[in-house]
Amino acid sequence: MSKRTITVTVNGQTHTADVEPRLLLSDFIRHTLGLTGTHVGCEHGVCGACTVLWHDPEDGPLAVRACLTFAVQADGAELTTVEGLAPDPEHLHPLQQAFMDEHGLQCGFCTPGFLMTLVPFLQEHPDPTDAEIRAGIAGNICRCTGYQNIVKAVRKAAGQMGGGDGA
């Protein structure tokens, strides 16, 4: 299968690589770029573990299933993965801190997918109700936590990100 040259910017760094058209974006991120924070749980778009942010110039960051995207589709795109979520090495994103504070993770495998889903969610719903949070994360499956502490973490992060009292 002949390769195509693509250029993708991930977490602010631009990469150029020759890839097979069938290479999944999730495999490109994890294995070609070595950013293993994005995980693969199902390869059929249900579990959400592979969620990354795709920065659309008009719509802003969109949560995207990397397992359902081909790397060649991301040619010219700007992406953020969990490794790019923290503002700097000394500080965590409020979502990351809140997940730690509220025990919103156990094995941690689904966590990057949740975090990336929640970034655009909180932009759209800065002061979400619990029902809205649960609906917002219904596309991410966790097998460990039963979601309760994840919801608490989102409430806390929303509060800290200036979304009212997050009630």
Instruction: Supply the angle between the helices 94-101 and 148-160 in degrees, to the nearest 10.
Output: 140
Q: Is 29 in the site for other proteins (CB under 8 A)?
A: no
Q: Which residue among 7, 56, 62, 143 contacts other proteins (CB under 8 A)?
A: 143
Q: Which residue among 142, 155, 158, 166 contacts other proteins (CB under 8 A)?
A: 142
Q: Which residue among 8, 64, 111, 118 contacts other proteins (CB under 8 A)?
A: 111
Number of residues that bind other proteins (CB under 8 A): 57
**What contacts 104, CB < 8 A, 6 or more positions away?**
98, 111, 114, 145, 149, 150, 152, 153
Q: Which range touches other proteins (CB under 8 A), out of 53-61, 105-113, 119-127, 155-163?
A: 105-113
Residue 131: is it exposed, middle or buried by C-beta count within 10 angstroms (0-12/13-18/19+)? exposed
* Backbone dihedral angles phi then psi of residue 115, each to the nearest 5 degrees: -60, -45
Q: Which residue among 13, 21, 62, 144 contacts other proteins (CB under 8 A)?
A: 144
Between residues 37 and 74, which has the closer beta carbon with respect to other proteins? 37
Q: Which residue among 46, 75, 127, 159 contacts other proteins (CB under 8 A)?
A: 46
Residues 52-81, interacting with other proteins (CB under 8 A): 81
Between residues 43 and 75, which has the closer beta carbon with respect to other proteins? 43
Q: Is 83 in the site for other proteins (CB under 8 A)?
A: yes
CA distance 97 to 89: 13
Q: Which residue among 87, 138, 162, 164 contacts other proteins (CB under 8 A)?
A: 138
CA distance 104 to 65: 21
CA distance 45 to 118: 17
Question: Among candidates 99, 111, 102, which has minimal Cα distance to 144?
Answer: 111
